[in-house]
């Protein structure tokens, strides 16, 4: 498995709008096992993104899906930056759901 | 919703053993929506734990479950420390699964 844990910083005041775009259609990505968007309660513009995939290739392929590319294009002007990004190797637990 | 993203450091050489304990019975915690254990590929003793709950109360209650208390007792000697811990407010996405 392949995972990512990152914190994205929205442009000022744009967190809700950015989060809504990130949450659209996240169930339609082949090989995605978990993709959870969370607000950071300590920083008003920060968004946590935690992802689990069946492998690194599935994550890379997802970035080429037309729906994902369209979402990225809409999200980009709302993103001020990333302040952390960690790759992980998910081992198991609860909530790893194979897309149907 | 309530979430946690943390990185735990296992005692040297004990990561696999600690991860196995953390993954036991994670589906049986009321209000748990996601609980994923991942290895850190850059640090041989580090484990990422990402959690989503229907509320902070469910997380607090889980720590009092007999099975969780027993797991904590077994895990404690294998834990060297925590090097990050962030509370989050999960907003949505894919893989938030209500325990049955």
Is the whole model's pTM more than 0.80, yes or no? yes
d(CA B24, CA B28): 9
d(CA A79, CA A82): 8
Instruction: Give the H/E segment covering residue B74.
Output: helix B66-75
Compare CB distances from B95 to A42, A92, A95 and report the shortest one's residue. Answer: A95
Summarize pLDDT for A57-71 with one digit per residue, the tens.
Answer: 999 999 999 999 999
**Both tokens assigned to B41:** 């590929």
- Check CB contact under 8 Å for B38 and A89: yes
Q: Does A92 touch chain B (CB under 8 A)?
A: yes
- Check CB contact under 8 Å for A34 and B36: yes
| pLDDT, position A98 | 78
Summarize pLDDT for A20-53 with one digit per residue, the tens.
Answer: 999 986 667 999 999 999 999 999 999 999 999 9
Summarize pLDDT for B15-42 with one digit per residue, the tens.
Answer: 999 999 999 866 679 999 999 999 999 9
Instruction: Give the H/E segment covering residue A1.
Output: none
pLDDT band at residue B69 using 50, 70 and 90 as cut-offs: very high
In chain B, pLDDT over 70 holds for what percent of residues?
95
ipTM: 0.93
CA quadruple A15, B89, B87, A43: dihedral, nearest 10: 20
């Amino acid at each position: 498995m392949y995972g990512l844990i990152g914190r994205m910083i929205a442009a000022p005041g744009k967190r809700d709008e950015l989060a809504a775009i990130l949450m659209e259609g996240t169930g339609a990505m082949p090989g995605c096992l978990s993709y959870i968007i969370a607000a950071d309660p300590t920083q008003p513009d920060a968004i946590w993104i935690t992802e689990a995939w069946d492998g690194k290739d599935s994550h890379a392929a997802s970035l080429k899906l037309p729906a994902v590319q369209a979402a990225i294009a809409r999200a980009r002007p709302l993103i001020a930056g990333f302040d952390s990004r960690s790759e992980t190797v998910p081992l198991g637990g609860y909530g790893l759901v194979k897309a149907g």
